[in-house]
Amino acid sequence: MKMTIGEIAKAINADTTDILDDSLNTEVSGVCFDTRKMLPGKLFIPLAGAHDGHDYIDRAITSGAAATLWATDHVDRLPLKIPALVVDNPLKAFQKLSKYYLAKINPRVIAITGSNGKTTTKDMIASVLASTFNVTKTHDNFNNEIGVPYTLLQMESNTEFLVVEMGMDRPGQLDFLSKLVEPDVAVITMIGEAHIEFFGTRDKIADAKMEITHGLKDDGYFVYDGDEPLLIDRAKQVSVAKSTFGRNHNNDIYPISTSDGQYQTTFNVNLWPDEDVTIPMIGDYNVNNALAAIAVAQIFRIPKLAIINRLKKFDLTKNRTEWLTGKNGEKILSDVYNSNPTAAKEVLAAFSRTKTAGRRIAVLGDMLELGTKSKQMHASLSENIDSSEISEVYLIGEDMVALFDRLKPFFAPENLHYYHASQLQDLTTDLASDLKADDEVLLKASHGIHLENVVAAIRG
């Protein structure tokens, strides 16, 4: 993003009374709402959260901020060292600026949501489109009311496609994000139990996920899991072109065979039955994410070989089913960004089929936001934990005690470990001393459990 302060002020209808005319011609090179990451030349966005961003203006200035947004209810302490664009609400102004910039660059927009797989699907779609076009994609987990505008404002001026991930934890959230970006293609990977604490039923989750179509352009496309009855019925109400993917042969795109490798999965798709398509991830469930990417690629006429080559070597966002090597030489399957019952069962099933000369060890933490049936859902993971395939289990978190109780009859006491959420360091120490060179260890939990710290410790 490169815009003058004057252009930004006009885009968001900011009050520039106290800004000198010469300053309005100063160019801004980007935006920043975290002063720890501030770089010279950027526009500071003082957001209100656990702390008030206005309180950090001196740090922003010291780090080189070129200008700042500033709330009208804070004008009694207006900064004097840099231009301040006065607005009623900095967050809404930030969002308005992102929409203005999106219209200015005018890329095709692919919006993706789903209870599982949205980040992987985003990475796959971006990789495939990048074979032919200039692409910007959501960085890390920037997928909410702050992250999506930030992604938009990160676009280079030559961006032809924007691939944007959208998360949600309440009704109306995807409605806002979809109308903000006005996608050319909306993708729903699947409907699961994520955030069921806030929605109550999968039906209500499906209603909320369908909000991603609310901003869809009239000549756009809706790509969705055609095996999901909750989506099939709702898709009939969306009057745009549609493409479905899934396992059933009544879908537009489906696999005709799949095979697991040690660190990859290969499948054949109905479009090209004689061509092997390989993705650098284990787990049959990841084939569906690749099918969604193929569906989007087909819309934009990406050549077959480009699709196959790009899927084979796409860059996966950190901590999503990522194979790493530990300090002892053990293999680590890090999937610690988030977790819910469907995702946990799928990765456990895939992990149980890997080939190893040593032990398979599973480290599982609480799956958050599951509501009143949380303990029951945690206990249900036992269906995918066979002591003949997974030698040892480490569990951490309040609700994982339900899984611990369910597994007790099937594991020797020395092979089944339980820790309270406050005992993360104890788990880390015990696991590190337990691992051997030939072992494989899976780590899976919601981000709030912070198993990424365990991953960092055992990698050394």
**Amino acid identity, residue 46?**
P
Q: Is the dihedral of CA 166, 231, 125, 301 positive or negative?
A: negative
Tokens coding 24: 């309005």
Q: Kindly report the number of other CB atoms within 10 A of residue 231's CB atom.
A: 21
Predicted confidence at residue 9, as pLDDT, reads: 97
Task: Report whether pLDDT(313) > 70.
Answer: yes
Alpha-carbon separation of residue 175 from 90, 103, 183, 193 (angstroms): 21, 19, 12, 20
- Rounded to whole angstroms, how far apart are CA atoms 346 and 283? 7
Tokens coding 198: 């806030």
- Rounded to whole angstroms, how far apart are CA atoms 256 and 125? 21
**138 has binding-site annotation:** no
**116 has binding-site annotation:** yes
Q: Encode pLDDT of 172-217 as tens digits.
A: 999 999 999 999 999 999 998 776 777 878 899 999 999 999 999 9
| Matching residue, tokens 């806002």 | 176
Task: Report whether pLDDT(351) > 80.
Answer: yes
Burial of 322 (0-12, 13-18, 19+ CB in 10 A): middle
Q: What is the SS3 assignment for 441?
A: strand
List of domains in the chain = 3-88 (3.40.1390.10), 106-312 (3.40.1190.10), 322-459 (3.90.190.20)
- Rounded to whole angstroms, how far apart are CA atoms 395 and 401? 8
**119 has binding-site annotation:** yes
- According to DSSP, the β-strands at 265-269 and 272-279 are antiparallel
**Amino acid identity, residue 249?**
H
Task: Report whether pLDDT(49) > 90.
Answer: no
**114 has binding-site annotation:** yes
pTM for this model (two decimals):
0.91
**Residue 167 pLDDT level (bands cut at 50, 70, 90):** very high
Predicted confidence at residue 213, as pLDDT, reads: 98
Share of the chain above pLDDT 90, in %: 88
Alpha-carbon separation of residue 392 from 329, 387, 458 (angstroms): 18, 8, 16
Q: In this structure, are residues 213 and 175 in contact, taking their beta carbons and an 8 Å threshold?
A: no
Predicted confidence at residue 195, as pLDDT, reads: 66
Query: For residue 14, what are the contacts with CB-CB under 8 A and spacing of at least 6?
Result: 8, 69, 85, 86, 87, 93
- Rounded to whole angstroms, how far apart are CA atoms 109 and 187? 11
**115 has binding-site annotation:** yes
- Nearest in space to 120 (alpha carbons), one of 261, 311, 296: 311
Q: Encode pLDDT of 266-278 as tens digits.
A: 999 999 999 999 9
Predicted confidence at residue 12, as pLDDT, reads: 98
Q: What do you get for the CA distance between the two ends of the chain, in Å?
A: 37
Predicted confidence at residue 337, as pLDDT, reads: 86
Reduced DSSP (H G I as helix, E B as strand, rest coil) percent helix, strand, coil of the chain, to 5? 40, 20, 40
- Rounded to whole angstroms, how far apart are CA atoms 105 and 356? 49
- According to DSSP, the β-strands at 185-188 and 241-245 are unpaired
**118 has binding-site annotation:** yes
**147 has binding-site annotation:** no
